[in-house]
Copies of this chain bind each other. A is one copy, B any other.
Amino acid sequence: MIDKVNENTLYDVAELFKNFSDSTRIRILYCLFEKERSVTEISELLQMNQSAISHQLRFLKNSKLVKNRRSGKTIYYSLDDDHVYNIILQGIEHVSE
C-alpha cells in the first residue's frame, strides 16, 4: 500500500496540501464546515477584501475542494469533498496536541 506510491503521487499530495497551507484558505474551508456561505458572508467573517476571497475560492474550486451554486445574485460555496473535513480535522487535532 505504502510501497506502491510513485513520484507523481507525491507531487499530487503536495498539491493537495497546498490548499491547506495558507491561513486564508484554511479559514475559508473551516467556515464552510458548518454550512454553505456566500462570498460576501465569508469576506465579512474573515474581515477580508471580497476580491481576495474570490481569488482563493477559485483556487479551492480548481482543486475540487469546494463547489458553488447560484441563487439570484448570490453565489453560495460549500465543501465538495468528504476527505477535506477529515484531513483538516486531523490537522486541528495535531496542533491541539
Contact = CB atoms under 8 A, between A and B. Distances in A.
Contact of A13 (B10, B13, B83, B95): B95
A17 B17 contact: yes
A52 interface: no
Given A9-B96, A21-B17, A33-B2, A83 B89 contact: no
Q: How large is the interface on A (under 10, 10 to 19, 20 to 34, 35 or more residues)?
A: 20 to 34
Interface of A: 2, 5, 7, 9-18, 20-23, 25-27, 30, 33, 83, 86-96
Given A5-B30, A9-B96, A10-B26, A91 B21 contact: no
B18 A21 contact: yes
Contact of A17 (B2, B33, B89, B91): B91
